Chains A and B, each alone.
Chain A
Amino acid sequence: MDAQKVDMYMMSNQKYFPMEQAIFLREKLLALDEDRFPLVSAIDLKDPTTLLIISIFLGSLGVDRFMVGDTGMGILKLLTGGLCGILTIIDWFTIQKKVKDLNFQKIMTLL
């Protein structure tokens, strides 16, 4: 993919991915075939800020875990109110990183 397209993609989608992987991701995108770009732009990425808000308000019902695909832990949070609040609070602080890692995993299946 040509550098300008990659830079535009990185600029608009930077918040979805972990910062440490930004350079690695950019290199992978540069090495990608042009005709695979529609696939890359079409994948469904979760917004870390949205999920942070969901985690704060609905976190004790496990909704944030269900949305990052962690069904088992979601049930645990649902049935115990986030382990009586403990896991609820921990997830407030760790959910954004989890979402970014999930997005990174998703895009790496294409690259």
Chain B
Amino acid sequence: MKINKDLVAASATPIILTLLQEGESYGYAIIQRVRELSEGEVIWTDGMLYPILHRLESQGLISARWGESESGRKRKYYRLEAPAKEAIDDERRQWNTMNLILARLWNPQTA
């Protein structure tokens, strides 16, 4: 089963923010972590990540710093900023609500 494109796009922000709760990271590593967590079900085009990271940076939810990779190449690392906690909580509430609505619709006896 492949997750449809719209759902992937909608879930990208909470996924990125939540992943960065694990610690500072960079673009390629974030993509790999998503692939690992979704066991290949969620297909992200690598390029879709960067506009989202830059938007979150401009919103002050994450910050970036330039560092170096093990091979000495320049690498941009991202980490969460304080306002991100509230944003993650808000996303969690929204996704739980949507999940609850769909669960009630699809499984009326158990809901």
Co-assembled chains A and B:
no
Task: List residues of chain A with CB under 8 Å of any chain B CB.
Answer: none
Task: List residues of chain B with CB under 8 Å of any chain A CB.
Answer: none
